[in-house]
């Protein structure tokens, strides 16, 4: 799964990187420990042009009775996005890119109670394009006057060679060559879209071990990315 990640690139940088035509958010603070429920940047199609906006991490289906449903839906499995009731309609009509500057995974090590955290990013340092889904929800208890809340989930798949010994899942990372296809809201060919949900080439990523400071959601800063010996726990 992908349960924590890094988002430090400014909206200006993200707009340039992802060829965004409209930025709907102001300046954002660097976040080295993005957690579920956070407001995160997302890139999506809006009536034929590409926009960047903030959405809540943890997809809340339109039919949900409570916002809390999103707490269980931060990740969508690539194998079931076409059949899962929460994800199949967003997969057909509401796909997005969730930019990240890297992400964390935790490795179980025999003989230790505490898992070893790792940081993973692109080798070239460019923002990553996570494959995402988004939805719009309003509180049915309030009615039509309730504010519309946009939320998202990150799609995960089997790990590549770099991640396999660390975790049994990894986020789907989209190459630039398929961004147009993925974001095209008029593209409803779910069979072809599903073929994009594969592990990224291992040689495009790099990883290093970090300390367990990242385990605490209230820890946030560039020091979380400092390299640490695997045997330092």
Q: Which residue numbers are catalytic?
A: 2, 105
From CA 15, how far away is CA 223, in angstroms rounded?
26
Coil, strand or helix at 85: coil
Q: Tokens standing for 199? A: 């592990």
Q: Taking a C-beta distance cutoff of 8 angstroms, is the pair 152, 40 a contact?
A: yes
E strand or H helix at 205, and its extent?
strand 205-209
DSSP 26-56: -----EEEE-TT-EEEEEEEETTEEEEEEEE
Residue 114: other Cβ atoms inside 10 A: 11
Q: Tokens standing for 167? A: 């975790």
Coil, strand or helix at 119: strand
| Alpha-carbon distances, residue 48 vs 19, 22, 44, 96 (angstroms) | 13, 11, 10, 13
From CA 195, how far away is CA 188, in angstroms rounded?
13
């Amino acid at each position: 799964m992908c349960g924590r990640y890094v988002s430090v690139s400014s909206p200006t940088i993200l707009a340039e990187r992802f060829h965004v035509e409209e930025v709907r958010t102001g300046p954002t603070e660097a976040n080295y420990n993005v957690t579920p429920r956070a407001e995160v940047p997302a890139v999506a199609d809006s009536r034929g042009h590409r926009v960047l906006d903030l959405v809540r991490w943890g997809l809340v289906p339109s039919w949900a009775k409570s916002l809390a449903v999103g707490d269980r839906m931060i990740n969508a499995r690539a194998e079931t996005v076409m059949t899962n009731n929460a994800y199949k309609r967003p997969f057909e009509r509401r796909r997005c890119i969730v930019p990240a500057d890297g992400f964390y995974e935790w490795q179980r090590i025999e003989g230790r109670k505490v898992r070893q955290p790792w940081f993973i990013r692109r080798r070239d340092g460019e923002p990553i394009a996570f494959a995402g889904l988004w939805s719009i929800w309003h509180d049915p208890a309030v009615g039509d006057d309730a504010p519309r809340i946009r939320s998202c989930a990150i799609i995960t798949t089997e790990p590549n060679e770099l991640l396999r010994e660390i975790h049994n899942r990894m986020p789907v990372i989209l190459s630039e060559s398929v961004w147009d296809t993925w974001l095209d809201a008029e593209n409803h060919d779910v069979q072809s879209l599903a073929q994009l949900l594969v592990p990224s080439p291992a040689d495009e990523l790099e990883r290093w071990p970090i300390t367990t400071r990242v385990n605490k959601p209230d820890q946030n800063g560039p020091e979380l990315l400092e390299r640490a010996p695997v045997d330092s726990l």
